[in-house]
Amino acid sequence: MTEGTYWLEHAWLGDYVEPGVTVEVADGRITAVRTGTDAPPPGAEILRGLTLPGLANAHSHAFHRALRGTVQVGSGTFWTWREVMYSVADRLTPETYHALARAVYAEMALAGITCVGEFHYLHHDRGGTRYADPNAMGEALIEAAAEAGIRITLLDTAYLSSGFGEPPTAHQLRFSDGSAEAWAERCSVLKERDHARIGAAIHSVRAVPAEGLATVARWVEERRAPLHVHLSEQTAENDACLAAHGVTPTRLLADHGVLGPRTTGVHNTHLTEEDIRLLGGSGTGTCMCPTTERDLADGIGPAVALQRAGSPLSLGSDSHAVIDLLEEARAMELDERLRTRTRGHWTAAALLRAATEDGHAALGWPEAGAIEPGRAADLTTLALDSVRTAGPPPRLGAETAVFAASAADVRHTVVGGRHVVRDGAHALVPDVPRALADAIAALSG
Ligand SMILES: [Zn+2]
């Protein structure tokens, strides 16, 4: 249903947990929130457990899901991991990518994710040959999200060079439009839909020459669209940028008009004090991807300092080593505890805000991410009676959710008033593990 009544046994209303909340929905939006309703009204859909606003996964590369497990054999660095990632990218077609992304987005729905930011750079056929529809790959992702029942912001990514002054490698020909103007022309054709919005991304300062940065910034400015950029994930990127331009990647972006409240830097790991001031002072967001950053041995970014400087935080599962936004939220705090040997850098409420309201804002869905009248009817319900969550009183539901629950505790996912996951089962993709296994097997075949 996209209209009707939900009764939430417990609801997280931004600062506190409220028992017995009735939510009215019409046309995919919340029209009323009534507290103090001890019993479900007649005919209401009952969501037992703790209901949060839907979770936003602000940084995804869907095809990296095919690497799970296989990249955990042996040693290496980010750069050796990237070679394996490229070999998977080489094998994808619009058909196989659609099947894989549909399964990955269904996994996200099962994890309570109601909106994904897909940082999409695999645009063309092998060798860079254009498909008949030059957006065939992006369209496959938008369709996959529709079939999995979640919202998507397609962050169509400009990726033009392999390094400063270096042409794309053979692998990277599939990513490149040849010029920033050709990138802009191709993505201007993409159409928004009820479940899909179009944003842009700069893969990194390595992959877009400085003269192309302003072209991308202008494109998003005209559309008031979100713009994401991988930023200082690796020290090698900083070193190469300093050698080529004499400035840090953050300063380079600032000098070309890329920073601002609609922009999100992804990772923001290795920053100077000045970088932090530039990002915070311009209101540029920070998307932390802690499970990927630890998986790839990137380092721990200065999220506390960034937020204090004025950079809103969001969270992403990025390479999908795991897909669990609660784990991302928990990991951001726990990484900081290990580094500083003190506790309590963020409250559970602040971490949930990154996973919900601020994540949606970073993806260009400011109407989603809170259980309030006028907001999108996107809800995620966690069991409070599982082996992980039983025991604490419901008023500590936010603390339990962030510090003990996992994606396996998600019982219901509602997107735009539509019940996409019910009692832990996906309503649209009947066997998600099978869909994942089949889609990944097709790539190794
Ligand atoms: Zn990424």
Residues recognised as catalytic: 267, 318
| In the block, residue with structure tokens 């998507």 | 152
Give the pLDDT score at 74.
80
What is the 167 CA–ligand 1 centroid distance (Å)? 21
What is the 142 CA–ligand 1 centroid distance (Å)? 18
What is the 301 CA–ligand 1 centroid distance (Å)? 14
Give the pLDDT score at 2.
65
Give the pLDDT score at 444.
82
Instruction: Give the N- to C-terminal CA distance of the chain in Å, as an integer.
Output: 40
What is the 119 CA–ligand 1 centroid distance (Å)? 7
Q: How far does CA 358 lie from the centroid of its chain?
A: 11
Are 330 and 351 spatial neighbours (Cβ–Cβ below 8 Å)? yes
| In the block, residue with structure tokens 């920073």 | 259
Q: How far does CA 190 lie from the centroid of its chain?
A: 20
CA distance 132 to 136: 8
Any bridge partners for residue 199, and if so which?
Answer: 155
3-state per-residue secondary structure call for the chain = CCCEEEEEEEEECCCCEEEEEEEEEECCEEEEEECCCCCCCCCCEEEEEEEEECEEEEEECHHHHHHCCHHHCCCCCHHHHHHHHHHHHCCCCHHHHHHHHHHHHHHHHHCCEEEEEEEECCCCCHHHCCCCCCCHHHHHHHHHHHHHCCEEEEEEEECCCCECCECCCCHHHHCCCCCHHHHHHHHCCCCCECCEEEEEEECCCCCCCHHHHHHHHHHHHHHCCCEEEEECCCHHHHHHHHHHHCCCHHHHHHHCCCCCCCEEEEECCCCCHHHHHHHHHCCCEEEECHHHHHHCCCCCCCHHHHHHHCCCEEECCECCCCCCHHHHHHHHHHHHHHHHCCCCCCCHHHHHHHHCHHHHHHCCCCCCCCCCCCCECCEEEECCCCCCCCCCCHHHHHHHHHHCCCHHHEEEEEECCEEEEECCEECCCCCHHHHHHHHHHHHHC
What is the 5 CA–ligand 1 centroid distance (Å)? 38
What is the 294 CA–ligand 1 centroid distance (Å)? 13
The structure's pTM equals: 0.97
What is the 267 CA–ligand 1 centroid distance (Å)? 8
What is the 79 CA–ligand 1 centroid distance (Å)? 13
CA distance 353 to 52: 10
What is the 317 CA–ligand 1 centroid distance (Å)? 9
Q: What is the mean pLDDT of each run of 10 residues along the chain (445 residues)?
A: 87 96 98 96 97 98 93 83 87 97 98 98 96 98 98 98 94 96 98 98 97 97 98 96 98 98 98 98 98 94 98 98 98 97 97 98 98 98 98 97 98 98 98 97 84
What is the 67 CA–ligand 1 centroid distance (Å)? 14
